[in-house]
Amino acid sequence: MKMSGIQIVVEALKKELVDTVFCYPGGTSDNVVNQLTEADIRFVMYCHEQGAAHAADGYARATGKPGIVFSTSGPGSTSLVTGIATAYMDSVPMVIFTGHGMSANSVNDAYKDVDVFSITLPITKHSTVVESVSDLPRTIREAFHLATTGRCGPVLIDLPIHVQMDIGIFRYPKNIYMRGYNPVYNCHPGQVNKVAKVLAQANKPVIYAGGGIIYSGAHEELRQFAEKFSIPVTTTLMGLSGFPTGHPLALGMLGMHGTYWANMAVNEADVIIAAGARFDDRVTGRKSDFAKDATIIHVDIDPAEIGKNVRADIPIVGDIKQVLTQLLKKPGPENTEPWLAKINEWRRCAPMRYCQDADGEICPQFVIEQIYEQTEGKALITTEVGQHQMWTAQYYKFNKPRSFASSGGLGTMGYGFPASIGVQLGCPDDVVFCIAGDGSFQMNIRELATAVKYCLPVKVAIINNQHLGLVRQWQEMFFHSRYSSVVLQKGSPDFVKLAEAYGALGLRAQKPSEVIPVLQKALSTPGPVVIDFRVKTGENVFPMVPPNCPINEMVTTAK
């Protein structure tokens, strides 16, 4: 069927069952926006392209479907960069369409022209500048395939105006063959047998689970595997919600702000099964000291992750769900009781705790626990980046996969709020909470307009300590309390009034007794709500592994 390039794009989106696109219009993307209105695809317009990119990312993390973004050329595409990089670091499937001027190349430095292809090379899984309308259907088909298979990631398609306008034939390829792209899903049975042999001898095994568990849909297999052999499970920030936090075998998060017992367990384990994790420096602490005595089994769908940061004694390349399914049929450790008892000792000697004085200031941890309580643990959570993010990781109980979206790899402040709007669009029936800091919320605060415009009932809980808390904590601990550029008191808006100015509901809690009523009020409000929780300013995130220290050397409380 003959049609214009832009109609081809829309038809291809229909074939890919896309229901929502995240966009900001402009000279070179107006055509698409026009066409989308006619098709049965919802397009959600943000206030800024960065917001659109984070929202598409949040949508993708919550639903498992790729997030689709449209932007115009030049500043439209450069504003996407942080969003694309965030998705790339956390392996989130996205397909990004950027408009482009008349020519595929930036030959004449035309108006709003930028070489987005080169700018995004290191932060995309793949990217293409479409040169002819005849390449368009295949390019889109390939982009969706690349974004959503193997190790997922963002794929960018740059669409020059002439390709959008030219008339071509729409024939959407059913099958595609990409000679240079063959992700390995089926693991090598020989490697699985090796693992089984090591596991059968293991006395102190630990599973270290990353975001790959969630992306592979392996949470159920992970639970069965852990339960069958009584192996404790610690998760990374990205792996939270991949294993129920309240499970008796759950150790919580490991690493810099992980639990003491998770870090001690990893440090003393004899076998570590790293599943869909990448031994980030926030997890390993000083690499040369990491799990020195353990046999490390590393399961990942991306072969390049294996051996990249930490040695892998037994590498397994493949889909974690399949690997765990295979391992479930093999023998495992016989008796881990003494090991679990040892871990419980660690648990007792440095429990996670804070002290909420009824008449004192609000503890940030208390707010986070109350969000869990008041939503009966059913909310979908996004966070910004900072102390509130770490407290969420430590104190919120995640029970179901894809209920948590946070910028783990890139650590993007400004991610959480626009992402929560994407999550809400993907999961309209769920309660969505964005736990934010007073610093990071301001980075993309303008998207309140989007939440109001589309009547999306996201709830923002600002853990307002009037500081860039995590930076303040580092300055306190490592720079002799010489504070610089961390106080936000002056210049911060009145968040309640600001919410009202946008047409959202603004609430504030200043005393511990106000926390629960305010949350209840927010939950009974049909539209978006911003809650300004005025919390203790000097509270620090503990425990903590100081940078570049071994993970068993934790600072557990304030001096």
The DSSP letter of residue 305 is G
For residues 405 and 91, is the Cβ–Cβ distance under 8 A?
no
User: Which residue from 27, 75, 78, 181 is in contact with another protein, where contact means CB under 8 A?
Assistant: 181
- Tokens 């639970």: give the residue: 223
Among 118, 193, 335, 513, binds another protein (CB under 8 A): 118
User: Under a CB-based contact definition with an 8 Å cutoff, are residues 339 and 253 in contact?
Assistant: no
Query: Which window, 116-124, 189-197, 396-404, 476-484, contacts another protein (CB under 8 A)?
Result: 116-124
Output the smallest distance, CB 483 to another protein, in A.
34
Identify which range of 91-99, 245-253, 300-308, 535-543 contacts another protein by CB under 8 A: 300-308
Stretch binding another protein (CB under 8 A), from 70-78, 240-248, 301-309, 535-543: 301-309
Residue 250: CB minimum distance to another protein, A: 32
Shortest separation between residue 299's beta carbon and another protein, angstroms? 16
Give me the phi and psi of 549, to 5 degrees please. -110, 160
CB of 163 to another protein, least distance (A): 14
For residue 343, the SS3 value is: helix
Torsion over CA: 318, 405, 362, 519 (sign): negative
Binding mask 63-102 for another protein (x = CB under 8 A): ----------------------------------------
Q: Which residues pair with 459 in a beta bridge?
A: 433, 529
CB atoms within 10 A of CB 455: 9
What is the rounded CA–CA span in Å between residue 258 and residue 260? 6
Pairing of the two strands 233-235 and 250-253: parallel
Give the closest residue to 389 by CA, choosing from 541, 492, 209, 242: 541
Single-letter code of the amino acid located at 431? V
Counting contacts by CB under 8 A, is residue 107 touching another protein?
Answer: no
Element (H, E) at 13: helix 5-15
173 binds another protein per the rule CB under 8 A = no
Q: Quick one: 176 or 200, whose CB is closer to another protein?
A: 176
Q: How far apart are the first and last CA of the chain?
A: 72
Q: Which amino acid is at 379?
A: A
Among the residue ranges 58-66, 85-93, 124-132, 347-355, the one whose residues contact another protein (CB under 8 A): 124-132
Site for another protein in 307-346 (CB under 8 A): 307-308
Per-residue binder mask for another protein (CB under 8 A), 132-151, x = binder: --------------x-----
Smallest gap from Cβ 186 to another protein, in A, equals: 17
Closest separation between CB of residue 102 and another protein, Å? 17
Q: Which of residues 61, 126, 204, 347 is near another protein by CB under 8 A? A: 126
Q: How far is Cα 405 from Cα 440, in angstroms, rounded to an integer?
A: 15
- Residue list 513-532, contact with another protein (CB under 8 A): none
CA 281, 282, 286, 292 torsion: positive or negative?
A: negative
- Given 3-state DSSP classes, what are the helix, strand and coil percentages for the chain, each rounded to the nearest 5? 40, 20, 40
Burial category of 50 from C-beta neighbours within 10 Å (exposed 0-12, middle 13-18, buried 19 and up) = buried
Q: CB under 8 Å to 7, separation ≥6 — which residues?
A: 35, 170
Interface with another protein by CB under 8 A: which range of 20-28, 123-131, 369-377, 442-450? 123-131
Cis peptide before 543 (omega within 30 of 0): yes
Amino acid letter, residue 44: V
Q: Does the footprint of another protein cover residue 169 (CB under 8 A)?
A: no
Nearest to 158 by CA among 29, 41, 50: 29
Selection from 111, 85, 105 nearest residue 96 by Cα: 85
Q: Within positions 446 to 485, which residues make up the interface with another protein, using CB under 8 A?
A: none
Q: Fill in the per-residue mask, 252 to 291: x = in contact with another protein (CB under 8 A), - = not in contact.
A: ----------------------------------------
Residue 178 touching another protein (CB under 8 A): yes
Taking CB under 8 A as the rule, does residue 246 contact another protein? no
In eight-state DSSP terms, residue 133 is G
Q: Is 125 in the site for another protein (CB under 8 A)?
A: yes
Which of 102, 176, 304, 349 contacts another protein by CB under 8 A?
A: 304
- Site for another protein (CB under 8 A): how many residues? 20
* Nearer Cβ to another protein (103/510): 103
- Please, what is the minimum distance in Å from the beta carbon of residue 279 to another protein? 13
* Binder among 2, 40, 109, 180 for another protein (CB under 8 A): 180
Q: If binding is defined by CB under 8 A, does position 117 make contact with another protein?
A: yes
User: Which of 117/395 has CB closer to another protein?
Assistant: 117
The site for another protein (CB under 8 A) is made up of 117-118, 121-122, 125-127, 129, 131, 146, 178-181, 302-304, 306-308
